Amino acid sequence: MFLYVFLILSKKVNSVRKDTIVIREIEAKDNPKIAKAIRDVLIEMGVPKVGTAYEDEALDCMTETYNEPKKAYFVVERGDDIIGGAGISPLDNYEGNVCELQKMYFMPEARGKGLGSEMMNTCLNFAKQSGFDYCYLETLPYMEDARKLYRKVGFKSLEKPMGNTGHYSCTVWMLKNL
Mean pLDDT of the chain: 86
For residue 168, pLDDT over 90 is answered with: no
Supply the DSSP string of 18-64, one letter for each residue.
EEEEEEEE--GGGHHHHHHHHHHHHHHTT--STTSGGG-GGGGGHHH
- Taking only the tens place, the pLDDT of each residue in 124-157 is 999 999 999 999 999 888 888 999 999 999 999 9
H or E, element range at 146: helix 144-152
Phi and psi at residue 145, to the nearest 5°: -60, -40
Confidence of residue 16 (pLDDT cuts 50, 70, 90): very low
For residue 12, pLDDT over 70 is answered with: no
Residue 86 CB neighbour total at 10 angstroms: 23
Q: How far is CA 123 from CA 2, 17, 23, 161, in A?
A: 10, 29, 11, 21
What does the pLDDT average to over 107-123?
94
Residue that wins the pLDDT comparison between 8 and 53: 53
- State the virtual CA torsion across 133, 160, 66, 3 in degrees, nearest 10: 60
State residue 165's pLDDT score: 74
- Taking only the tens place, the pLDDT of each residue in 30-89 is 999 999 999 999 889 887 676 666 677 788 889 999 999 999 999 999 999 999 999 999
Q: Which domains does the chain have, with CATH numbers?
A: 23-133 (3.40.630.30)
3-state secondary structure of 78: strand
State residue 52's pLDDT score: 64
